[in-house]
């Protein structure tokens, strides 16, 4: 066995552990921002808006956006209470990038659901299907442009479910790799 072959399982386990930690880290950092950012109302504002203002770098640093969302709905403080009057290139690219990533996540849910069905792992299959369906519904609601507090809160719950699913997948893969 070469040194590289011996190193691969350690690298794999490390990457799986980091993948499992990503969801809780994202949720904890997001919650900390929700509780500390002046003017942020989680029932009105998508977490993407956290990329604006003096502390916007925190949201960007955890990979949430290479492109900042346009300020809107009164966040950050001093911004108009409505949607952006003009969609900037950054705002458009933020929306498009997020859409591509979210659709990829939804597709992954269904691809893995099919795999789990083939492996006769019905609990994982149903968890994957439910996550894909609910995340799609949450994303469609928020992407519709409607400014309903219910849709915003539903999207937060869908994001929480998606991160839970991803973290659980990485954790299960880590446990299998350690056997």
Average pLDDT over residues 80-88: 89
Supply 4's token pair: 């590289």
The pLDDT of residue 135 is: 98
Q: What percent of the chain clears pLDDT 90, i.e. is strictly above it?
A: 64
Taking residues 16-39, report their average pLDDT: 93
Q: What is the mean pLDDT of residues 55-73?
A: 81
Binning pLDDT at 50, 70 and 90, where does residue 60 land? Answer: confident
- The DSSP secondary structure of 65-79, one letter per residue, reads -SSPPPPBTTBSTTS
Using the predicted structure, report yes or no on whether residue 179 has a pLDDT greater than 90.
Answer: no
Distance, CA of 133 to chain centre: 15
Nearest to 95 by CA among 62, 131, 68, 114: 68
Domain that holds residue 119: 3-177
Q: How many domains does the chain have?
A: 1
Give the per-residue pLDDT at 9. Answer: 84
Q: How confident is the model at residue 65 (pLDDT cuts 50, 70, 90)?
A: low
User: Looking at residue 3, what is its pLDDT?
Assistant: 59
Mean pLDDT, residues 2-11 taken together: 66
Question: What is the residue-wise DSSP string for 20-42?
Answer: HHHHHHHHHHHHHHHHHSTT--T
Q: What is the pLDDT of residue 83?
A: 87
Position 7 scores a pLDDT of 59
What's the Cα-to-Cα distance from 147 to each of 126, 152, 162, 165, rounded to whole Å? Answer: 31, 8, 22, 27
Residue 8's pLDDT band, with cuts at 50, 70 and 90, is low
CA 36 to chain centre: 20
Q: Per-residue pLDDT for 79 more than 70?
A: yes
- Per-residue pLDDT of 106-140, as tens digits, reads 999 999 999 999 999 999 999 999 999 999 999 99
DSSP 100: H
The two tokens of residue 131 are 């996550």
Can you give the pLDDT at residue 64?
55
For every residue of 115-175, DSSP letters joined together read: HHHHTT-HHHHHHHHHHHHHHHHHHHHHHTT---HHHHHHHHHHHHHHHHHHHHHHHHHHH
Q: What is the pLDDT of residues 12-23, one digit of tens each?
A: 999 999 999 999
């Amino acid at each position: 066995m070469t040194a590289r072959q011996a190193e691969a399982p350690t690298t794999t386990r490390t990457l799986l552990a980091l993948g499992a930690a990503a969801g809780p880290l994202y949720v904890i950092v997001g919650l900390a921002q929700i509780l500390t950012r002046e003017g942020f109302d989680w029932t009105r504002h998508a977490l993407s808006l956290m990329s604006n203002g003096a502390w916007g770098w925190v949201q960007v640093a955890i990979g949430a956006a290479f492109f900042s969302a346009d300020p809107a709905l009164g966040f950050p403080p001093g911004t108009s209470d409505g949607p952006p009057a003009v969609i900037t290139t950054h705002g458009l690219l933020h929306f498009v990038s997020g859409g591509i990533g979210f659709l990829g996540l939804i597709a992954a849910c269904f691809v893995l659901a099919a795999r789990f069905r083939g492996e006769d792992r019905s609990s994982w299959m149903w968890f994957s299907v439910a996550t894909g369906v609910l995340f799609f519904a949450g994303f469609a609601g928020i992407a519709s442009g409607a400014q309903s507090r219910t849709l915003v809160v539903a999207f937060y719950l869908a994001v929480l479910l998606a991160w839970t699913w991803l973290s659980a997948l990485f954790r299960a893969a880590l446990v299998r790799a350690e056997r």
